[in-house]
Structure 1
Amino acid sequence: MKIDGDEVGLGGGEGDGVEVVDTKSVSRVKLDLNIPEWLLVEVLVRLPVKQVFSLKLVCKQWRSVISDPFFIRMYVLRASMSRELPPWTYISYTLHVDGYYIRHSEHPSYELLLDVYSRDFKCPSFYVLPCPHGHYGYTSRYTVLGVSNGLVLYGPLVCCLNYGICNPITRQWMALPPHSCLFNTVRGGLVTKVDNGVLTSYRAVRIEIILKGSSRIRFEVFFSEIGEWKSFTVVTEQVIRINSRRMATILDGILHWVTGKHGIIAYDPYEKPDSLRFIALPGDIDRRCNNAKHHGIPSLCDAHQGRLRYFEMSGFCKRPYGFSSIGIWILNDYSSGEWCLQHRVRAADILYDDVLSGQYLFLQPMSFHPFDSDILYLGYENIIVSYNINSRKLKAHGGELGIELTIGGEQPCWLLAFLFVIPPWPLYLPPLPHPFIPPPPPGAVEALL
């Protein structure tokens, strides 16, 4: 097979000897209709996923091969053996809509996530989500409830009756049927089951947040297999106050929230949607981090490399640094709830770069680096700060594209952000048993005129 006169080989060397075709000029590809399908698969499986998707437009044969579950399994398997780390970024909890795109900011220079990936693993970036055509409204604010395997669960920030699920890479979206429970404050999550690059099912979860706490914790779960929402209420012996400023942490399909006094609550929407499990936090943490005053802002429960990790900045707001020390614990045994202290350092013993040196730091932990267990990211004013466990250094990172990471000039974009790792193969959202088509929003016709 030749592309613009160049031979595409299957030999070794960088990129396995495959010369990448310019996907903007697919029309220049000279097709050999007699090419064996096995050879076509061997070539396509070595190309970047974005180019593979572009080559669906070449002909029906190529589209059929690329869409075949066998090819997807081959592609995912090969990607899993690659030494190249997947690209990743952050998605903010609060988004703005401008035209057909949801933006982290109203600044016009943001580019699509489809075209720009965070290849610099030392400094994460913020990008844009597609807004479904005619969905909800044309000028609005949105909220993200969960991210899983490259899919995003989101809906309007105000009067959030309808939710949608979107794949930012392929720009495919699907409206979920309206739910029935009205919660004043909502958190949630998205849990997916994937088999060799194919989405088999998912659960969209909503949890009611009572700021003063409650002994009745209400959930609403969307079951993709039947296309319906189901309601569950879990009654506890004590009043539980979930940290409202923190998103759910997902590990092995189970959602985790940190509470004010009762450690971590774990919720399994697949196996036990009508019950909760309590996991005690380490005994030597600073309990003030999760009290009603701080709402968990100086602490973080995160899933990393198959285990839960807990991070805290003890002595939050204490001068002169803004905190007194940093501590990191790992949940060694999930069944028994056994924690192990991994790292602790005083604020005075930390190295600060030129931007942070001498500053009173109001830091909020965001997440651990998805692939480097020694790196943690925190938000500070309009920048992102990384902390290296080995070097004990805090380093400031500016915003990508040279613009401030703010939400419409109001709040920092990293506030309640979600870590978004690009999967090796973008998941396709299969149609629901009873597809829901949302009605056009009021004023939509006028907005188009």
Structure 2
Amino acid sequence: MVVANLQVLSMEIGGRAVLEVILVEIIARLPLRSITRLKLVCKQWKSLIESSYLRRVFVSLHKNSSSSWSLMFGAEYPHPEAIGFHGCQTWDLQKSLGFYIKPFQRYLNLPTRCNYFYVASSNGLVWIDVFFTRTDNMPYSYKSFVGNPVLEQWVEIPPPPDQCIPTGLVTRVENDIVQGFKVVRTSRTEPRGMGVHEWRVYVYSSETGLWTSKRLLSSHPVNYAGSYPPVNLNGMLYLRERGLDATEPGVLVAYDFYGPEDDDQCLVIPLPHLYSKSVRRCLTTSGEDVIYIEILYPTLKVWKLNNNESKSGEWWLLSWEEVDMASMGLDDDCFPLAMNPLDTNIVYLWSQHHESLVTYNLQRQEFIVHQETETWRNSEGCYRMNTSGSKGYVKGNVDATTVMMLSPFVLQRWMDSVPRPPN
């Protein structure tokens, strides 16, 4: 119906410039899911829709609308979505993002009997590893892909030169458009003496289509084993490493993979406070911030990484006043899971007592206990909670030394094509 009406408008209005302005004003009010289909109408519409002018108008009209997002488990979960938000005005997806990841094998002509694992995400792109039985026609037991499951666009990543561990995905963004991505795999870590430790990685760049090796130096041991996806933000990976002894809370080892090529020094960021057997912690991102959430019952604290540490001398800043969970009616067996990727007022917890996911609003000081696989709608869109998956995730991470790290997968506010390496 939308296409038919716009085609009639094209015939009735003369003057190319006037028509294009009217078309832009109409198309920019549609969700991206509909706009993607309109690109197929004709070459002229495709060119108009891919223009920077329509993008600017769309982003301006939808600046107060949320984008679709999910919080994802690590690679050990074949159904990786913990919490999902969809149906918003920006994209108008009928299902949560996990639904669009599941059938991606058919787009790539892969065997139906294979296991896929979500590895990481950055600025609307996801990294998926697919494992299958080795055959004469397939010399590798797995394949890696980076892509956008909603747009059904995927890039196959060639195997690295040596065996190494999947680590993280980072992106380069200019003018709100993803211009490139890098896939990072850990080769080995080892001490070099004099308090210096070496972290060897292989990095694949979409801009060159090649793997390169890097030897990064850290003042703290890097023992990354691929158990948890590191946090990534603005081209930087943040790996959580345990403290040197049991009384320390641990550190973040961070490196900017889009920084100067000759810079091989990692940043070592201490986590807040001392170790406690009763503490529960998680690390995540929200908006443009790295967020650390800590529960030492009955107190809940939310910390934000201070990007101006060199001026203040403080690595972390409390972004909210301490919350007395007991006064809010929350039990003493809650685990922090993540923060809403776009709203720093919303924290997600797991309640052992209710065996359910809990949404806690820091601003309103209200919490909601969610039922298993519950889906509900509000004025912005639809939320879906994977309670059974979260239960298994928490059960496997009850050790107080663990920092839970769900991976945010957030679609961009515009339908960027996936960057492709040169032929």
2:350 matches 1:368:
no
Partner of 1:340: 317
State the AA in 2 paired with 1:38: V
State the AA in 2 paired with 1:372: D
2:174 matches 1:203:
no
Gaps of 5+ in 2: 82-86, 133-139, 244-249, 376-383, 397-403
Inter-partner Cα distance in structure 2 for 1:386 and 1:116? 23
Inter-partner Cα distance in structure 1 for 2:205 and 2:109? 22
1:151-170 correspondence runs (5 A): 151-156=125-130, 161-170=142-151
Gaps of 5+ in 1: 4-20, 98-102, 106-110, 119-124, 315-322, 435-449
- 1:344-385 Cα deviation digits (max 9, x unpaired): 345533423xxxx5xx6352x332122332211134577422
2:43 matches 1:72:
no
- 1:320-342 Cα deviation digits (max 9, x unpaired): xxx55322222334442512334
Partner of 2:401: none
Q: Give 1:42 deviation, angstroms.
A: 2.4
Partner of 2:21: 38
Q: Give 1:263 deviation, angstroms.
A: 1.6
Task: Give 1:144's match in structure 2, choosing from 118, 126, 131.
Answer: 118
- 1:306-327 Cα deviation digits (max 9, x unpaired): 333221123xxxxxxxx55322
Q: Give 1:393 deviation, angstroms.
A: 4.7
Q: Which sits farther off after the overlay, 196-205 or 169-178?
A: 196-205
The answer to whether the 8 A contact 1:169-1:426 is kept is no
Task: Give 2:271's match in structure 1, choosing from 245, 263, 281.
Answer: 281
2:396 matches 1:419:
no
The answer to whether the 8 A contact 1:405-1:413 is kept is no
The answer to whether the 8 A contact 1:215-1:238 is kept is yes
Alpha carbons of 1:218 and 1:343: their partners in 2 closer, same or farther (altered >3 Å)?
A: farther
Q: Which sits farther off after the overlay, 406-415 or 270-279?
A: 406-415
Partner of 1:15: none
Inter-partner Cα distance in structure 1 for 2:386 and 2:51? 43
State the AA in 2 paired with 1:281: L
Alpha carbons of 1:391 and 1:62: their partners in 2 closer, same or farther (altered >3 Å)?
A: closer
Inter-partner Cα distance in structure 2 for 1:72 and 1:288? 49
The answer to whether the 8 A contact 1:73-1:197 is kept is no
2:88 matches 1:83:
no
Alpha carbons of 1:413 and 1:428: their partners in 2 closer, same or farther (altered >3 Å)?
A: farther
Q: Give 1:170 deviation, angstroms.
A: 0.8
Partner of 1:52: 35
The answer to whether the 8 A contact 2:74-2:229 is kept is no
Task: Give 2:286's match in structure 1, choosing from 297, 304, 321.
Answer: 304
Partner of 1:388: 361
Alpha carbons of 1:400 and 1:71: their partners in 2 closer, same or farther (altered >3 Å)?
A: same
SS in 2 for 1:191: strand
The answer to whether the 8 A contact 2:190-2:197 is kept is no
The answer to whether the 8 A contact 1:329-1:340 is kept is yes
Inter-partner Cα distance in structure 2 for 1:269 and 1:64? 33
2:240 matches 1:258:
yes
Partner of 1:178: 159
Inter-partner Cα distance in structure 2 for 1:96 and 1:195? 33
Q: Give 1:49 deviation, angstroms.
A: 1.4
Q: Give 1:423 deviation, angstroms.
A: 1.7
- 1:42-81 Cα deviation digits (max 9, x unpaired): 22122221111122233332222112344334433443xx
Q: Give 1:39 deviation, angstroms.
A: 2.3
* TM-score, structure 1 as length reference: 0.69
Inter-partner Cα distance in structure 2 for 1:361 and 1:43? 51
The answer to whether the 8 A contact 1:167-1:426 is kept is no
Alpha carbons of 1:39 and 1:77: their partners in 2 closer, same or farther (altered >3 Å)?
A: same
What is the percentage of aligned positions where both structures have the same residue? 25
Q: Give 1:406 deviation, angstroms.
A: 4.1
2:46 matches 1:63:
yes
- 1:384-427 Cα deviation digits (max 9, x unpaired): 22223245554322324599644699757998542222322122
SS in 1 for 2:10: coil
Inter-partner Cα distance in structure 1 for 2:329 and 2:405? 26
2:258 matches 1:270:
yes
2:214 matches 1:224:
no
Q: Give 1:104 deviation, angstroms.
A: 4.8
SS in 2 for 1:162: strand
2:370 matches 1:397:
yes
* TM-score, structure 2 as length reference: 0.73
State the AA in 2 paired with 1:300: C
Partner of 1:432: 421
Alpha carbons of 1:350 and 1:209: their partners in 2 closer, same or farther (altered >3 Å)?
A: farther
